Amino acid sequence: MAFHKIVPKLTNSLLSKFLRLRNRHLFMGDILVFTTIPFLSLLLRFDGNLAIATYLPELARATILFLIVKLSVFRRFGFYRRYWRYASIEELIYIAILMAAAVFLQTLLFYGFHYIPYFTLDKLPQSLPFIDGLLSCIFIGALRFSVRVVERLSTRRVVFNPPECVLIVGAGSAGVSLVQEMQRNPQLGFYPVAFIDDNPRKLNARIYGIPVLGDRYQIPEAVKSLQIRKVIIAMPTVAGHVIREIVDICKATGTQPCTLPGIHEILNGRVRVDSIRDIRIEDLLRREPVQTDLERVAHFLEGKKVLITGAGGSIGSELCRQICKARPAEMILIGHGENSVFNIQQELEQLVQILKNDGKAQGHTPRLFTFICDIRFQDRLKHAFERFYPEVIFHAAAHKHVPLMELNPPEAITNNVLGTKNLLELALQYDVKNFVMISTDKAVNPTNVMGASKRTAEMLVLQAAKQSGLPYVAVRFGNVLGSRGSVVPTFQKQIAAGGPVTVTHPDICRYFMTIPEAVQLVLQAALLGRSGEVLMLNMGEPVKIVDLAKQLIHLSGYEVNKDIDIVFTGLRPGEKLFED
């Protein structure tokens, strides 16, 4: 076998054997270290000029004393139950604290033995316990962390498929976590070679051995000089205009950028390599994240009976996911479409199982109940209230499509108005403490049936709040990116079909937000809303629909009016150019 093949195999074999070291092996190593350290300490104290015969009897007694003290302290505080393969700064601090305790005890005993006949240690220098403790800490720490170093080396074994060189844009906590996982798991196929970060204080710094080359304008040079194959944008909190600029820079270099999800999508989970995905339109329209107190929200919902209407819809299903993680006692999922309710039920059952198996987390394991029901039928709704007695209601069931409701006004009125009225009457009858209705910006100065029906529903909520004095509130937000039937999925289908992309008017504008962001604000409203309030998110600047269409075409790898045309079809009945 060729030499270049033998060496890696031999090295990998030795690394594997070293990693099989257990605490019993380290215990034996500690005994060896502790029996030699006092002699080395004495040698160091006298600069090597040591008449060993003079000190040998007392040195032997001191060595036994120090050995007993250190092993007793280490065993008493579980030092030999630690797993050192993934040792970190916490383990280093732990070693230092235990060694400080051992040095304190052995110093007391060292001075105490001065007054015990036949066991005196008065010939030994008084600094011996301290020097012994310092050297012991260094040697013990080095022995433990050598396991960590070898573990890191073992992850860099010879790989037959060369990894993909990646550039990480963002040297914050998300980017650093990403690099750590890539370095720990080279089999993932990513090899981080450099960071890009706009913070000038990080320039030329090295983080986990990876250099920070400069700001976003250094991307073209880095891609060229380092032969970058992939650029990963690891900035979950940055605004959409920054993402757009970085994407444009990357595309100019011929590199396809990827990203981590926005902060609203990863709040309940850590950053992982498998979170990396292609750029989506949500990333390009992302705003500065709105601060929400998720801990207080979770505390508010924990242990309560929560009813969600429209549980199978885009907003309702995300509400269910986030509420489930807050560990309520019961979740009652009410929906009219059996397939969508079935799908969210199956997903939540898996999530409940994960929560049940989470040994670190404490609290309730939610019980799930599904209830197929049309909220227009009060008798059927009443059966759910009689059975479950909910404490909190999130009302997400509604008809929302403006053109369809213009053609079917009775459906808009009966579902959005009568359904809400039924729900509120039962909520008051069964003493529901909190009620949150999801409304829309189209309820402001409505020009269509859907907006008028939602404004009427808002007024019913405010009336119920005034009557009861309870925190019954409505939450308004604009268009939700990615919700069923919204403009983005429609455009994506048109692009996939080869176009054209249809826009009603070149000047039409809308406010946008993502589903996770919308849901977190709904949950926050349940916590903060006072009786009879209508809460609104500051939606930032409205987005031109034609600009949205152009960005989606570019993200799909096409050129506007060359590969995919944009066609203007005229405003539809009840549609406004600008929302208020």
- Positions marked active-site: 442
Q: How far apart are CA 509 and CA 547, in angstroms?
A: 9
DSSP 172-223: SHHHHHHHHHHHH-GGG-EEEEEEE-S-GGGTT-EETTEEB--SGGGHHHHH
Residue found by looking up tokens 């650093």 in the block: 176
Report which secondary-structure segment, H or E, holds 544: strand 543-544
Is the bond leading into 500 cis (omega within 30 degrees of zero)? yes
Q: How far apart are CA 446 and CA 453, in angstroms?
A: 9
Instruction: Please state at what angle helix 449-468 crosses helix 419-429, rounded to 10 degrees.
Output: 10
Q: How far apart are CA 452 and CA 417, in angstroms?
A: 9
**Strands, DSSP E only, in 215-350?**
230-233, 257-259, 277-278, 305-309, 330-335
Neighbours of 155 (CB within 10 A): 13
Residues 6 or more apart from 541 whose CB is under 8 A from it? none
Residue 480: both structure tokens together = 């939700």
- 208 and 180 Cβ atoms separated by less than 8 Å: yes
Buried b (16+ CB within 10 A) or exposed e, 430-445: bebebbbbbbbbbbbe
Output the CA–CA distances (angstroms, integers) from residue 186 to 179, 182, 183, 195, 269, in the order listed. Answer: 11, 6, 6, 18, 22
Q: How far apart are CA 34 and CA 41, in angstroms?
A: 11
What are the φ and ψ backbone dihedral angles of 269, each rounded to 5 degrees? -155, 160
What are the φ and ψ backbone dihedral angles of 233, each rounded to 5 degrees? -90, 110
Q: What is the DSSP letter of 479?
A: E
Q: How far apart are CA 544 and CA 33, in angstroms?
A: 71
Q: Name beta bridge partners: 503.
A: 568
Q: How far apart are CA 355 and CA 345, in angstroms?
A: 15
- 204 and 214 Cβ atoms separated by less than 8 Å: no
Q: How far apart are CA 219 and CA 195, in angstroms?
A: 10
Q: How far apart are CA 12 and CA 140, in angstroms?
A: 25
Quick one: CA dihedral 552, 556, 557, 559, positive or negative? Answer: negative
The burial of 237, by beta-carbon neighbours within 10 Å (0-12 exposed, 13-18 middle, 19 or more buried), is given as: middle
Q: What is the DSSP letter of 261?
A: P
